[in-house]
Amino acid sequence: MLNLIRQSVNNCYGETRQHMKVFNYSSIEAETVDCCPSNVQVRWLITKDMGANNFAMRLFEIGPDGNTPLHTHHWEHEIFILGGKGAVFDGTKITSFKKDDVVFIPSDERHQLRNTGKKLLKLLCLIPNNKE
């Protein structure tokens, strides 16, 4: 995971606040996603540990013919496709997407992300830190 020196300052109200952080995504180690059947890695770019209280930002890299499992949960996904092409599957219907597309998956909706191309599929996926 990311090793950052936490810098803080006092604002005009005497509260301690975190500084902005700027870093290259490649400084975060890609982790193999254990639950995924094939060829999926994730980088946790922005997390609660960094001071992001509301949302986590993850970069997924899905290789050709790779996919996430078909699953559901009680939180939504906001996804931006950075590169490649793929599809989201809800158990019955397949909807294609490509670079620069946006995907919204509501809470409690079955979903699976698939790489349908020959190149690496890269996407940003935001989820809430509080998943209750």
Given pLDDT bands bounded at 50, 70 and 90, which one contains residue 1?
very low
pLDDT for res 129: 87
Per-residue model confidence as pLDDT tens digits over 50-98:
889 899 999 999 999 999 989 988 988 999 999 999 999 999 999 999 9
Q: Which residues contact 116 (CB under 8 A, 6 or more apart)?
A: 85, 86, 87, 96
Split into its structural domains, the chain has a count of 1
User: In this predicted model, what pLDDT tens digit does every residue of 21-55 receive, in sequence order?
Assistant: 899 999 999 988 876 666 899 999 999 988 898 99
pLDDT of residue 114: 95
Q: In which residue are the tokens 């994730």 written?
A: 42
- 31 assigned to some structural domain: yes
Is the pLDDT at 130 greater than 90? The verdict is: no
Decide the pairing of beta strands 85-89 and 38-46.
unpaired
What's the pTM?
A: 0.82
Decide: 48 and 42 in contact? Cβ < 8 Å.
no
Query: Which H or E run contains 125?
Result: strand 121-128
CATH number of the domain to which 64 belongs: 2.60.120.10
Residue 18 lies in a domain: no
Nearest CA to 49 out of 28, 74, 80, 32 is that of: 28
Answer yes or no: is 92 within a domain.
Answer: yes
Does residue 11 lie within any of the structural domains?
no
